[in-house]
Amino acid sequence: MATVRLGDIAPDFEAETSQGKIKFHEWLGDSWGVLFSHPADFTPVCTTELGTVANYYPEFKKRNVKVIALSVDGVASHMEWIKDINETQNTTVNFPIIADEDKRIAELYDMIHPNASESFTVRSVFIIGPDKKIKLTLTYPASTGRNFDELLRVIDSLQLTAKYSVATPANWKDGDKVVISTSVKDEDIAAKFPKGYERIKPYLRMTPQPNK
């Protein structure tokens, strides 16, 4: 079984979804992507998660992020489940859910963990950059719903640090101070970060978020 690691190219695939057939890389285009998996349709925690993503859809769109879910049930089942999600979560699911009945994509992305469950996909999340490389992987236990505020925070960090020579510190949120990368020499900081900086240690230099 393949293991998908940070920096790997996200495996490409063709699949049927609740919004028709897609080729994954082609569907992503130049966007960022979030692929998140579910053990089965009509599961309670996942119902709340899909509803949350639907309600957060404008936030993902604002960040040029396409979201797509995966479940090992078929399209007809997905369409019935979507009705439940829309009703119970007071929303409209407006993103595709992949039908992975043969678990081909689950195997491709290493979503079957035998010690957790012999047959069900674990609840994984992959953030994928426009370069089609894996930027984040997270796997949650079945009993814990995913935190989509955290995923948006990570996307904000990834998009910021892709453009500037910075990293984001613990508990950082959009608008907070950031860490200047150690690769930037002190003498080059003024040109790169005209808002100024604080030198706490030679290796720890903070500056206001450069794109705010």
Q: Mapping DSSP to helix (H, G, I), strand (E, B) and coil, where does residue 208 land? A: coil
46 given a catalytic annotation: yes
Q: Of 46, 54, 93, 106, which is the active-site residue?
A: 46
pLDDT per 10-residue tile (average), the chain, 212 residues: 85 97 98 93 94 97 97 95 97 96 91 61 89 95 91 98 97 97 95 95 96 91
Q: Are 91 and 57 in contact (CB under 8 A)?
A: no
> Judging by beta carbons within 10 Å of its beta carbon (0-12, 13-18, 19+), is residue 5 exposed, middle or buried?
exposed
Fold designation for 14-146: Glutaredoxin (3.40.30)
Judge residue 67's burial from the number of C-beta atoms within 10 Å of its C-beta, 0-12 exposed, 13-18 middle, 19 or more buried: buried
pLDDT tens readout for residues 51-109: 999 999 999 999 999 999 999 999 999 999 999 999 999 999 999 999 999 999 988 99
DSSP 131-196: TSBEEEEEEE-TTS---HHHHHHHHHHHHHHHHSSEE--TT--TTS-EEEPTTS-HHHHHHH-TT-
Q: Which helix (H) or strand (E) holds 199?
A: strand 198-201
Q: Where in the chain is the domain with CATH 3.40.30.10?
A: 14-146
